[in-house]
Amino acid sequence: MPKVDQDLCIGCGMCENICPEAFELSDASKAAVKQNIPSASKCVQEAADSCPSQAITK
């Protein structure tokens, strides 16, 4: 399951745009992982690779 480092996340929303089935912005305007999302999903990897602050890990 992917993880978002809240200290690194800048809340740009790119992960949510790339992979809305796995990511959403929290009330604190930081990325959050939705429940029960497999790390193997292609868009999760694309979101991780596209994260400008490299806050997403699998």
Domain residue ranges in the chain = 3-57
Residue with tokens 């790390």: 39
Domain covering 3-57 assigned CATH 3.10.50.40 in the classification: no
Q: What single string gives the DSSP state of each residue in 1-58?
A: --EE-TTT-----HHHHH-TTTEEE-TTSSEEEPTT--TT-HHHHHHHHH-TT--EE-
Mean per-residue pLDDT pooled into runs of 10, the chain (58 residues): 95 96 94 81 92 96
Report how far Cα 19 is from the mean position of its chain's Cα atoms.
Answer: 8
Against a cut of 0.75, is the pTM above it? yes
- Given this model, what pLDDT does residue 36 score? 78
Q: Residue 22 half-sphere exposure, CB side, CA atoms within 13 Å?
A: 23
